[in-house]
Amino acid sequence: MGSEITDAAIGGVFLKKLNQIIDNRGALFHFISNEDPKFSGFGEAYISKTNPNVIKGWKMHHKMIQNFCVPQGRFLFTLFDYREDSATKGFLNQFTIDDSINYFRLTIPPNIWYSFKCISDTPGLIFNVTNIKHDPNEVELLPIDEDSIIPFRW
């Protein structure tokens, strides 16, 4: 089984175009509600701010489901499916998410390696709504330049 950047979404990964209601005073950006079909409970909401050109990752959660949106700036996300029992094992996905034409909600299930780069000229913000509260015991990290598990180089 080869590993490639593909449009076939990794199993459990979900990308949803979100609504923005824009007027001359500003905007209202939808994100997530308890009535969304993909909503999986609320554990924590926090914000990650990333400076331009900075790459964060690799990171994998064993229990947490994450829901990201980008209300400011632009990010490129890279995801890798390393689950033994996954029909999409070995798949890489990349998604560009931002505050304008690519205003998406990205849902990442557990046991997916992910990293992201801020590709806007100004710092980017990622809002994350998760199904469980942060727990360092369910997180794994790899160096961003590791070269044995994840077939992708930034």
**x-or-dash pattern for a second copy, window 92-131, by CB under 8 A?**
--------------------------x----x-x-x-x--
Query: Closest separation between CB of residue 83 and a second copy, Å?
Result: 26
Query: Closest separation between CB of residue 49 and a second copy, Å?
Result: 4
User: Cα separation of 55 and 131, whole Å?
Assistant: 24
Q: Residue 88 is encoded by which pair of tokens?
A: 């999409």
CB 125 within 8 A of CB 73: yes
Closest CB to a second copy among residues 42, 82: 42
User: Cα separation of 143 and 150, whole Å?
Assistant: 10
User: Cα separation of 31 and 23, whole Å?
Assistant: 18
User: Cα separation of 44 and 138, whole Å?
Assistant: 15
**x-or-dash pattern for a second copy, window 11-50, by CB under 8 A?**
-------------xxxxxxxxxxxx-----xxxxxxxxxx
Contacts with a second copy by CB under 8 A lie at: 24-35, 41-51, 54, 56, 69, 71-72, 118, 123, 125, 127, 129, 133-134
